[in-house]
């Protein structure tokens, strides 16, 4: 895909799906930052680093999404839930029930769930499972090109609390 076609595909998708994302062009015209409205997360793109940008239809929900494949192999979808990306198990090893994709809303759900579980006696094991999924989510987000430092601090706080309670992570 040439840079002009990549830019046109992303701009067209964002025009047809208003409100979820904003496109912030770079000063040099060679790329942009895509801003997810719900979270404030941004993804930097250079038009010449996009191998493919293909619109697809969600089989479960009647909403389209755009899969952006980068020349380095990264993939990110622009979807009704925001940015969607694959998790990475590089730091967790295999995890049961790991979904194929995550979004940043999923992180909020996992962190909130782990926090609630820590408020109950005897639920540390479930809290550890939620934190491990959160680690895989953030590792996947980082690989995809997102800054996850804020979320990492939140997970570190949850991990400290788990360790204080004697949970093995």
CATH label of the domain that carries residue 41: 2.30.29
Residues 144, 141: Cα–Cα separation, whole Å: 5
pLDDT above 90 covers what percent of the chain? 90
Note whether residue 71 is domain-resident: yes
pLDDT at position 169 over 80: no
Residue 77: give the domain boundaries: 3-85
Q: What is the pLDDT of residues 39-81, one digit of tens each?
A: 999 999 999 999 999 999 988 888 899 999 999 999 999 999 9
Q: How far apart are CA 14 and CA 40, in angstroms?
A: 16
CA-wise closest residue to 72 among 45, 90, 99, 41: 45
Chain mean pLDDT for the chain:
95
pLDDT at 155: 96
Q: How far apart are CA 22 and CA 33, in angstroms?
A: 8
Total domains in the chain come to 2
Q: In terms of domains, do 12 and 73 share one?
A: yes
Tens digit of each residue's pLDDT (9 = 90 or more) over 114-148: 999 999 989 999 999 999 999 999 999 999 999 99
Query: Are 10 and 79 in the same domain?
Result: yes
Specify the pLDDT at position 166: 80
Same domain, 81 and 126: no
| Domain annotation covers residue 75 | yes
Query: For residues 35 and 117, what is the distance between their CA atoms, to the nearest angstrom?
Result: 32
Is there a domain that residue 169 lies in? no
């Amino acid at each position: 895909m040439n840079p002009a076609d990549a830019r046109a595909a992303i701009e067209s998708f964002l025009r047809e799906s208003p409100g979820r994302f904003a496109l912030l062009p770079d000063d040099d015209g060679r790329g942009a930052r895509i801003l997810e409205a719900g979270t404030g997360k941004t993804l930097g793109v250079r038009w010449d680093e996009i191998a493919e940008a293909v619109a697809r239809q969600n089989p479960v929900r009647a909403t389209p999404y755009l899969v952006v494949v980068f020349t380095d192999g990264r993939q990110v979808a622009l979807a009704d839930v925001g940015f969607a990306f694959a998790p990475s198990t590089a730091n967790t090893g295999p995890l049961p029930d790991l979904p194929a994709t995550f979004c940043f809303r999923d992180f909020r759900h996992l962190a909130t769930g782990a926090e609630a579980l820590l408020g109950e006696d005897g639920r540390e094991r479930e809290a550890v499972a939620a934190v491990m999924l959160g680690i895989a989510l953030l590792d996947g987000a980082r690989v995809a090109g997102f800054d996850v430092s804020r979320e990492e601090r939140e997970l570190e706080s949850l991990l400290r609390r788990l360790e204080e309670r004697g949970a093995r992570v």
